[in-house]
Amino acid sequence: MLTDPAWSVVPGLVHGFFDRHDCREPVDWPGVLARHGVGLPLARPRQVHGATVLLVDEVTASSEGDAVVATRSGVAVGIITADCAPVLLRDRCGRAVAAVHAGWRGAAAGVVQRALAMLSRVAGVEAAQVEVVVGPAVGACCYEVGDEVRRAFAARGGTELGFAFTPRRDRFMFDLRAAVGALAQAAGAGAVRHLGPCTMCDASYASYRRDGAAAGRQLSFIALR
């Protein structure tokens, strides 16, 4: 499990980005937390590559969304990934946390900015008080995309993300994590940090692009104690 060094020393905050060995099949996600000493219930939405942000008390087994925000302690919010970017957020006053699943579709649809806005609102803080950590995801070394991905981000306007697309023949190598970080920064986040390797290069991580439908998933979570 990877943790952000700065967050690891914050009293009352617990978080982590698991790898696929931590999440062995058959996966019981709250059990993964419990095995790692985090005995908290887990609120996890049905992820649909969209931009819906849920509050923790809205999450049921069937709630669809790609981000969950919690303002109370005693419950972990989490998402699962296998190449998409797991993104965790907290405000510096310790009032709220969020977990975001950001693949290219959700990121292009604004899930990162929406989660940041919701967290700032419910915590009652400026976006500049929010810190963002982007975990292991497919890297620009491995992530080849077509022009439709570049156009999807360009169509949203506002944030210049051309730097995240390196042309290769008639396609692009896309740096999803850098794009996600830039979107958070442009939305006013006070700090954006990146953790971990490319999930496709590093066999410790589940990678949908490497292993197809047989790929597992890894959990990322955050909670106020």
Instruction: Provide the binding-site residues for Zn ion, judged by CB under 5 A.
Output: 139, 141-142, 198, 200-201
Q: Which is nearer to Zn ion, 125 or 173 (CB)?
A: 173
- The Cα 205–Cα 138 span in angstroms is 10
Helix, strand, coil percentages (3-state) for the chain, rounded to 5, are 30, 30, 40
Q: How far is the CB of 127 from Zn ion (least distance, A)?
A: 31
Q: How far is the CB of 176 from Zn ion (least distance, A)?
A: 11
Q: Which is nearer to Zn ion, 111 or 140 (CB)?
A: 140
Q: How far is the CB of 30 from Zn ion (least distance, A)?
A: 31
Give the CA distances from residue 53 to residues 68, 82, 145, 157, 207, in Å, rounded to whole numbers and listed in that order: 6, 20, 26, 21, 24
Q: Which is nearer to Zn ion, 150 or 177 (CB)?
A: 177
End-to-end Cα spacing for the chain: 18
Question: Which secondary structure element, helix H or strand E, spans residue 127, and what is its range?
Answer: none
Q: Which is nearer to Zn ion, 188 or 197 (CB)?
A: 197
Q: How far is the CB of 205 from Zn ion (least distance, A)?
A: 10
